[in-house]
């Protein structure tokens, strides 16, 4: 007599490996041929009849629409396996080191060299070590020893939930998340140099698995915060310190995860480098600083270890409701006039002679318009500033007072030029909207750039500074 049977091995359940929660999406049985798939693990192919790790024929289900952030590649008997983040497996690379979360060989973070090349149906080639292939495709017949001796191989996916702090509550809170890049090998795709014009991706959260950005150029804000996804590394700086041009320039930092005091750090924001600014926790040219980069654009792949180790990176903005521009321009300044964000300029009609009084004085940017009396004859200097401090100028009294119409007036220093220069302003008798104080010649001033820093009479014209830069303020120094 002759008997035959299909003996099905009693295989363990791999879905419980490395914390569990796995879903089997692709299987190849023991044999001398790898997965038939040619989608390079994009999850867009479906073939065979969905089965289990004991199935005698290869099968695959689509998983391109499944929400997941980790892959596991395992032999049928679960003795050989590894876990890797989705971003480590996908992407294009040739014999490059890719991050592995854990494996049957090493129970901690480590790296292995894999290959995933465009147009190569057999890729990616995922290995556990030398001559230990755990995944290949396109029906490849190479390196199938593990398939034959360990009952085939499977591909698993899962969404691993990472619990992180809420960065929006740091430093008093009030932060709005406007840009995010996930853990991976690439920085923010944006090339707007943090002007806030870039818009891409579906708006998500601080730990989303995709890059996204919303426009924020039209929002009122005066501070940036750059933070890792887990909030362990972060830095807060004023908007003007970030949005100007500098090459290894020392920039003011209010506070960071590594220094609770105000300090300076060297960063880059160069006109020709669309991937700038480069925002770091230590001087940008420091030999060891790549593990402490907090912002870079252009999808650059340099210094990305911090993204993989700290759940990506985020950009937050806020309008800190405190007028403090004068403290950065030296001592002795007195806050004498304020107009909040809105559509009109200062209500005053005193030509800056110091006689207009209205409202209730406050150090809050959101406070209604107010003005206090001051002795214009004793004033030595005026400071005019936008609410977010991004635009400002200091001028002597004789430049501001007196009657003039389009004549050049001396500006001691400004957000436009650090050294003295002249700009043409207007202060005409009978014109209650005067004086018009600008960082450049009034007729050349670009309203949308916030170059106009003072106008009066409640006029609406030229009020972009008030609308988009948090209002405007006047300070004096005797």
SS3 for 185-230 is CCCCCCCCCCCCCCCECCCCCCCCCCCEECCCCCCCCCEEEEEECC
Question: Burial, 287: exposed, middle or buried (Cβ in 10 Å; 0-12, 13-18, 19+)?
Answer: exposed
Q: Per the structure block, which two tokens stand in for 111?
A: 């790296």
Rounded CA separation 304/309 (Å): 9
Q: Per the structure block, which two tokens stand in for 185?
A: 């090998």
- pLDDT reported for residue 287: 46
Give Cα 458 distance to the centre of its chain.
37
Contact 464, 442 (CB under 8 A): no
| Residue from 326, 324, 329, 336 nearest 369 by CA | 336
Paired strand residues for 407? 425
What's the count of helices (H) and strands (E) in the chain, helices before strands?
6, 30
Contact 179, 189 (CB under 8 A): no
**b/e per residue, 33-45, with b = 16+ CB within 10 A?**
bbbbbebbbebeb
In degrees, to the nearest 5, what angle opens at C-alpha 448 toward C-alphas 330 and 250?
A: 40
Q: For 279-436, where are the E strands, in sequence order?
A: 279-280, 293-295, 313-318, 334-339, 370-371, 381-386, 392-396, 404-411, 413-414, 421-427
Contact 450, 438 (CB under 8 A): no
Instruction: State the DSSP H helix or E strand holding residue 285, giving kind and residue range, or none if neither.
Output: none
Give Cα 332 distance to the centre of its chain.
37
Region of residue 324 (left: phi > 0; alpha: psi -120 to 50; beta: else): alpha
Token pair 């569990």: residue: 20
How many CA atoms within 13 Å lie on the side-chain side of 467? 13
Question: Burial, 202: exposed, middle or buried (Cβ in 10 Å; 0-12, 13-18, 19+)?
Answer: exposed
Rounded CA separation 206/310 (Å): 11
Rounded CA separation 382/323 (Å): 16
The answer to whether the predicted template modeling score (pTM) of the entire model surpasses 0.85 is no
Contact 392, 383 (CB under 8 A): yes
Rounded CA separation 410/420 (Å): 7
In degrees, to the nearest 5, what angle opens at C-alpha 187 toward C-alphas 183 and 189?
A: 120
Rounded CA separation 287/292 (Å): 11
- Beta-carbon contacts of residue 260 (< 8 Å; ≥ 6 apart): none
Q: Per the structure block, which two tokens stand in for 184?
A: 């991976």
- pLDDT reported for residue 323: 66
Rounded CA separation 40/114 (Å): 13
pLDDT (tens digit, 0 to 9) for every residue of the chain, 478 residues total?
A: 888 876 667 788 999 999 999 999 999 999 999 999 999 999 999 999 999 998 999 999 999 999 999 999 999 999 999 999 999 999 899 999 999 999 999 999 999 999 999 999 999 999 998 889 999 999 999 999 999 999 999 999 999 887 778 899 998 899 999 999 999 999 999 999 999 999 999 999 998 889 999 999 988 888 999 999 999 999 999 888 898 899 999 998 989 999 988 899 999 999 999 999 999 998 887 746 678 999 999 999 999 999 999 999 999 999 886 767 787 788 899 999 999 988 899 999 999 999 999 999 998 888 999 999 999 999 999 999 998 888 899 999 999 999 999 999 999 999 889 899 999 999 999 999 999 999 999 888 765 566 899 999 999 887 777 888 889 999 999 9
How many CA atoms within 13 Å lie on the side-chain side of 126? 30
Rounded CA separation 200/212 (Å): 5
* Strand-strand pairing, 334-339 and 370-371: antiparallel
């Amino acid at each position: 007599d002759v008997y035959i049977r299909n003996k099905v091995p009693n295989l363990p359940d791999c879905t419980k490996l490395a914390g569990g929660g796995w879903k089997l999406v692709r299987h190849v049985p023991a044999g001398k041929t790898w997965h038939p798939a040619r989608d390079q693990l994009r999850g867009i192919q479906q073939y065979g009849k969905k089965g289990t790790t004991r199935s005698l024929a290869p099968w695959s289900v689509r998983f391109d629409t499944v929400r997941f952030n980790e892959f596991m590649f395992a032999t049928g008997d679960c003795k050989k396996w590894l876990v890797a983040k989705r971003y480590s497996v996908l992407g294009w690379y040739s014999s490059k080191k890719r991050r592995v979360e854990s494996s049957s060989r090493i129970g901690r973070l480590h790296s292995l060299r894999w290959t995933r090349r465009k147009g190569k149906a057999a890729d990616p080639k995922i290995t556990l070590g030398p001559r230990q292939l755990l995944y290949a495709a396109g029906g490849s017949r190479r390196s199938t020893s593990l398939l034959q001796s360990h009952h085939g191989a499977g591909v698993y996916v899962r969404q691993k939930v990472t619990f992180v702090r809420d960065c929006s509550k740091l430093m008093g809170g009030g932060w709005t998340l406007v840009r995010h890049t996930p853990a991976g090998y690439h920085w923010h795709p944006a090339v707007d140099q943090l002007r806030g014009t870039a818009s891409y991706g579906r708006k998500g959260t601080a730990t989303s698995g995709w890059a996204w950005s919303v426009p924020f150029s039209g929002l009122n804000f005066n501070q940036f915060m750059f933070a890792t996804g887990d909030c362990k590394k972060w830095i807060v700086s004023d908007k003007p310190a970030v949005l100007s041009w500098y090459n290894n320039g020392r920039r003011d930092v209010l506070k960071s995860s590594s220094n609770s005091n105000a300090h300076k750090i060297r960063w880059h924001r160069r006109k020709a480098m669309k991937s700038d600014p480069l925002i770091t926790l230590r001087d940008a040219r420091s030999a060891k600083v790549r593990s402490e980069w907090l912002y870079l654009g252009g999808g650059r792949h340099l210094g990305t270890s911090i993204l993989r180790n700290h759940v990506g990176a985020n950009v937050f903005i806020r309008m800190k409701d405190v007028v403090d521009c004068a403290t950065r321009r030296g001592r002795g300044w007195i806050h004498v006039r304020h107009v909040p964000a809105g559509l009109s300029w200062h209500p005053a009609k005193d030509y800056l002679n110091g006689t207009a009084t209205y409202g209730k004085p406050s150090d809050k940017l959101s406070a209604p318009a107010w003005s206090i009396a001051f002795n214009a004859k004793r004033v030595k200097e005026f400071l005019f500033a936008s609410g977010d401090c991004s635009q400002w100028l200091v001028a002597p009294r004789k430049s501001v007072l007196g009657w003039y119409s389009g004549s050049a007036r001396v500006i001691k220093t400004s957000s436009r030029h650090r050294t003295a220069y002249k700009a043409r302003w207007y202060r005409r008798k009978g014109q209650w909207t005067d004086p018009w104080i600008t960082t450049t010649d009034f007729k050349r001033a670009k309203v949308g750039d916030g170059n106009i820093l003072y106008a009066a009479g409640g006029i609406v014209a030229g009020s972009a500074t008030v609308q988009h830069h948090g209002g405007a303020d006047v300070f004096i120094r005797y």
